[in-house]
Amino acid sequence: MHEDRRRTIKGIATIVNVSYGTEQTILTCDLNMHRVAAEFVPRLLTPELKGHRVAICQELRQRAVDDQSFMSRVTNGDESLVYGYDPETKQQSSQWKSRGSPRPKKARQSRSATKSMLIVLFDIRGIVHH
């Protein structure tokens, strides 16, 4: 299990020559493990980038506290490039983990040539443009 956490119960049962039900009991009851799918994130951030984002959020929060009209003057926007591709299924990306271990993460890797730009601008009253 520690060599490849993506193995299936059937695959492990075949390797160790036990029945499917016995292997399932060992994994779930004896080892207290369960199967989870990796969480998709746009990109994996470094600790430095995470710290920078926290600092910016704290600065904006302080400006909102200091100036009551600050939020009414903010226009925000979001844009995303949406690629057409064939992602790995949830079942294909799932793996075994113990209760205390963190959920696995992975960045999207394969992109196709087809893409669209989605843009939304909004303020305190709602959507301004899309």
- The yes-or-no verdict on residue 21 having pLDDT over 90 is yes
CA 9 to chain centre: 25
pTM higher than the cut 0.85: no
Structural tokens at position 55: 């600092």
The ranges assigned to domains in the chain are: 1-31, 38-92+100-129
CA 7 to chain centre: 21
Binning pLDDT at 50, 70 and 90, where does residue 35 land? Answer: confident
Q: Report pLDDT for 62.
A: 94
Q: Which residue has the higher pLDDT, 60 or 42?
A: 60
Residue-wise pLDDT for 43-87, tens only, equals: 888 999 999 999 999 999 999 999 988 888 888 899 988 777 666
DSSP designation for 106: E
Q: How far apart are the first and last CA of the chain?
A: 48
The residue to which tokens 């992602």 are assigned? 87
CA distances from 94 to 8, 56, 80, 102 (A): 9, 34, 26, 13
* Strand pairing class (115-123; 126-129): antiparallel
